[in-house]
Amino acid sequence: MKKSALAAAVLAATTISTTAFAAQNPFKDLPEGHWAYDAVTMLAEDGVLEGYGDGTFKGAKTVNRYEMAQIVAKAMEKYDSAQPQDKGAINKLKKEFAAELKDMDVRLSNVEQEINAIKSKQSNIKIFGDVRFRYAENIKGNYYKRLNVAGMDADTKKHLDKKEKVAPTRFRIGMWGEPAPNLSFNARLKLEHETNRSDADKDHGLGSDNHGNVTLDRAEVNWSAKNGFRIDAGRMEKNLGQGLIWWENGIDGFAVNKTFGPKMDAMFGWGDITAENWGQGKDKWMPGFFANVSVRPSSATTITVSHLNAKMDAQLWNPSVNDWGWINFYGKAVDYKLNQTAVGFNTKLSPRVTWIAEGIVNNVAMTGKDQNKHGFWTRVVYGNLDWMKKNTWHTYVEYAALGNYAVDSSGWGHHMDFAGGNGYGGDAGGCRGYGLGFSYMLAPQANLELNWHRMKTYNTKYGTYDNMLLSGLIFSF
């Protein structure tokens, strides 16, 4: 249907309603001698044309030609499904009332412009957020059972062998807006608190860990340029690859994004990665370069290549945290450098089965024995969890083998539910093991998660993290 006919039909729909047609003349006030009488009657009897609520049509006055044009526009909306004889009548009426139809199109366009002008003056800011409650436990608590650390007295070792229990909570609230065409902003505040911990930590005066007061979690501006370019700046939330390097965490800096059609997109940028760093470098400066390329050879598969190269001038006292947050008081100072490159893929094997995998290498200079910079992680997911649909779910099995330098287990910028080791570069660091997970939508935007991991250090001679259990509830709005 042409634009003029469609616009007139929309306008006519606001003033015309269906009714029971009169047996002979459905529009009582239309004179039988009128040239359009036969066409109107035929279309009405065939159910193509509808009259006013009282079944009348007001004759041959000037205003009535406009009313007639409204009804013709309504009939034109049903043109494709009309009988051949009805199409002929519609075409005849359309030609007769062409001027009125054109005028209606102009009027509707003016109304649309006024509406858009009003909308542009109204606030388009959207508020969003989420609340997450988690409980984590190292079930056996014997990480140091086989770890022989020089200088560790028996009393300290006894405490450090006890179970680790952590109850972290997180609340985030944000806003998104589009103040001008192609320009948007995204800002978010975060309050994070962790009630813990093991008896060992309590004995050292570390009964709880508050990650923050309220912090500025995100504050970025996005400008969409021509030819598929987008520029982001501020405290950005970025993803790299399948998540072993960086996932949904903040970077203070800028990024340039480019889309090359449906098959490929790329991103590169620079910034300070300590915006979301749980390690000792959070109050320091750690600038670096990051990049990501995604290629989609088919609608089911995405292949990614990602890179992060960042360095902190200060050293990191390591290991600072292990896979459930224990403090290791028998660590060492290491250079806090990241030169990570990861290659991975995400492919849909069937409507309900997804396979994800990623390999990583951290090309930094290392000294000492038992240092390893390589890592690998894979996950097979079954199910179709939909965040907006109740009773949807998925379950997964995963395996990880991560050297002590492979991922940043102090800063924890990656996506895994375990730190990935006993602190970045620690002699007893890295991890190796498998896990099971289940996620279920209790209601739209209300998720229950459960997972269990059996982990040990990457170099098995140092000990084990044992059975790790994590449960959580996440609500978003």
Q: What is the pLDDT of residues 362-400, one digit of tens each?
A: 998 876 666 889 999 999 999 999 999 999 999 999 999
Burial level of 415, CB count in 10 A (0-12/13-18/19+)? middle
**Are 178 and 105 contained in the same domain?**
no
**What pTM did the predictor assign?**
0.68
Q: Which of 121, 155, 176 is the last residue of a domain?
A: 121
Q: Which of 71, 87, 121 is the last residue of a domain?
A: 121
Name residue 339's beta-bridge partners.
Answer: 309
Q: What pLDDT is stored for residue 121 in this prediction?
A: 57
Residue range 410-423, pLDDT digits in tens: 888 898 988 888 77
Name residue 467's beta-bridge partners.
Answer: 454
**Are 278 and 383 contained in the same domain?**
yes
| Residue 232 pLDDT exceeds 70 | yes
**Are 44 and 133 contained in the same domain?**
no
When mean pLDDT is compared across 70-84, 225-239, 286-300, 310-324, the lowest value belongs to: 310-324
DSSP label at 363?
Answer: -
Burial level of 374, CB count in 10 A (0-12/13-18/19+)? middle
Q: If you average pLDDT over residues 279-295, what whole number do you get? A: 81
- Cα 36 to chain centroid distance, Å, stands at 58
CATH assignment at residue 462? 2.40.160.10
Residue 297 phi/psi, 5-degree rounding, is -65, -20
When mean pLDDT is compared across 113-122, 126-135, 187-196, 368-377, the lowest value belongs to: 113-122
**Are 108 and 135 contained in the same domain?**
no
Q: Domain range for residue 11?
A: 3-121
Question: How many domains would you assign to the chain?
Answer: 2
The span from the CA of 464 to the CA of 384, in Å, is 34
The span from the CA of 93 to the CA of 470, in Å, is 71
Q: What pLDDT is stored for residue 80 in this prediction?
A: 78
Rounded CA Rg of the chain:
33
Give residue 16's identity as a one-letter amino acid code.
I
**Are 91 and 154 contained in the same domain?**
no
Rounded to the nearest 5 degrees, what angle is found at the Cα of 410, between the Cα atoms of 408 and 412?
60
